[in-house]
Structure formats: structure tokens, C-alpha cells
């Protein structure tokens, strides 16, 4: 494993620990380091065409802005602004997968569309002020997740229930990375709507950050080997 990847995992562990224990300063230091570490690793590893490099770096830069905005996950204004930044990131990822041959498949898109509509309905009922911006973000997330699971990206991988099953080909892990991202974002909504006491909010934030860090690790890893 490359040194920058190890540093990323260490920064992710500190970020999650800071969230769970309420040590905010640890998050403030470690979380903004996450995407720059992945960007540095992806660039120095090679395997990227110039246009892909620009797309990936732009996506990770947008994610960095989102990470900083969501250092305070309980501020709805920052949540909306962060979702806008991550929408840019998801769009960049979608373009990358498209350039590598991914196309939306109905069987893969359908369950993601159902999940998107369910989340939109829940937000409309429980937090109407967040419904429009987060639903719009969810459309970009669903698009990226659908493309990431296209069997064309990893032709040697088995596909079960609309998800590529990881094998030796690192591209086969993109779908799992996108699934983790979807889980992380879904937990953000559930945390915002239903977590009431401080302990529950800290633990749920830790899970949000752990699944997010895992998602980004998988989504950027394959570039090293293409």
C-alpha cells in the first residue's frame, strides 16, 4: 500500500475518532486532509489521461470544500452548501465513469431511483426546507452510483442485484464505493431527522464519516492501476 494511502487511512481514523468522542479539533485538523491525500496519491500513481486528471482533481477539490462545510453537520445552511459541493464531485465522477465506457442500465438504475424517491418523500415530510437541495443532490449521487455499477467498467466481475462483485480488478470496486457513499448520505439524512441525544449524534456521525472515507478510498483507488 502506498504511503499516501496509509496517511489517508490514518487521517480518516482520526476524523472518525474525533467525531465519536466529541473532540472537534481532531476533525478540524484531519478531515480537510482526506481528499488532498487521495488527490496526491492518484496523481503520483499515474494511469490518468490529462482530461481524467483534471476531472478527478476537480471532483476531489469540490469534495474538500464539502468536507470543510460539513465540519458542523448540525448547521442546515452548511449542509445545503456542502451538498452543492458534493453534487459537483458526483457529476465529475459520473463524467469519469462515462468516459471509461459506463452507461446507465435500467436494472441498475431502478433500485437507486426508488431509494432517491423514498428519501425525497421523507425529507418533504420531515424537513421541507432541506427537501429541494438534498433531493437535487441525490439525483447526482444516484447517477454516479448507477454508472459506477455498470458491468462495462469491470467486464470480468460478476454483477449481482445491480452491483459489481469486487475481484482482482480494482475497477470492480467502484460500485461498492458508490454504495458506501449512498449509505453515508442516507445516514446523514437519518441523523438529521431522528438523532436527538448527543451520544446518538456522535456515534451516527462517526458511522457517516467511516462509510464516506471508505467510499472515497474505493472510488479513487482504481485510477492507480488503469
Which residue matches cell numbers 490514518?
10
Q: For residues 18-43, b (16+ Cβ closer than 10 Å) or e, as one string?
A: bbbeeeeebbeebbbbbbbbbbbbbb
Query: Average pLDDT of the chain?
Result: 93
Q: What is the pTM of this model?
A: 0.94
Record the cell numbers describing residue 70, joined without a space: 460539513
Q: Reply yes or no on whether the pLDDT at 223 is more than 90.
A: no
CA-based nearest residue to 30, from 16, 10, 15: 15
Determine what percent of the chain is predicted with pLDDT higher than 90: 83
Q: Reply yes or no on whether the pLDDT at 10 is more than 70.
A: yes
Residue pLDDT, tens place only, 129-167: 999 999 999 999 999 999 999 999 988 888 888 888 988
CB 187 within 8 A of CB 73: no
Residue pLDDT, tens place only, 85-112: 999 999 999 999 999 999 999 989 999 9
Q: Reply yes or no on whether the pLDDT at 75 is more than 70.
A: yes
Give every CB contact of residue 43 below 8 A, 6+ residues apart in sequence. 53, 57
7 phi, psi to nearest 5 deg: -60, -40
Per-residue pLDDT band for 222 (boundaries 50, 70, 90) equals low
Amino acid at each position: 500500500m502506498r504511503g499516501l494511502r496509509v496517511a489517508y487511512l490514518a487521517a480518516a481514523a482520526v476524523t472518525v475518532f474525533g467525531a465519536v468522542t466529541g473532540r472537534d479539533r481532531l476533525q478540524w485538523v484531519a478531515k480537510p486532509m482526506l481528499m488532498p491525500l487521495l488527490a496526491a496519491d492518484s496523481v503520483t500513481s499515474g494511469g490518468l489521461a490529462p482530461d481524467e486528471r483534471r476531472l478527478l482533481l476537480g471532483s476531489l477539490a469540490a469534495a474538500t470544500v464539502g468536507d470543510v462545510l460539513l465540519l458542523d453537520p448540525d448547521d442546515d445552511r452548511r449542509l445545503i452548501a456542502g451538498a452543492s459541493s458534493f453534487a459537483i464531485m458526483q457529476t465529475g465522477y459520473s463524467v469519469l465513469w462515462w468516459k471509461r465506457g459506463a452507461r446507465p442500465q435500467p436494472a441498475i438504475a431502478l433500485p437507486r431511483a426508488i431509494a432517491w424517491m423514498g428519501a425525497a418523500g421523507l425529507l418533504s415530510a420531515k424537513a421541507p426546507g432541506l427537501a429541494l437541495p438534498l433531493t437535487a443532490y441525490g439525483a447526482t449521487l444516484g447517477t454516479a452510483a448507477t454508472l459506477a455499477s455498470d458491468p462495462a467498467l469491470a467486464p470480468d466481475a460478476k454483477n449481482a442485484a445491480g452491483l459489481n462483485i469486487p475481484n482482482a480488478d480494482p475497477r470492480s470496486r467502484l460500485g461498492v464505493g458508490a454504495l458506501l457513499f449512498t449509505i453515508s448520505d442516507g445516514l446523514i439524512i437519518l441523523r438529521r431527522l431522528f438523532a436527538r441525544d448527543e451520544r446518538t449524534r456522535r456515534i451516527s456521525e462517526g458511522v457517516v464519516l467511516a462509510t464516506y472515507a471508505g467510499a472515497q478510498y474505493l472510488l479513487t483507488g482504481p485510477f492507480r492501476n488503469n
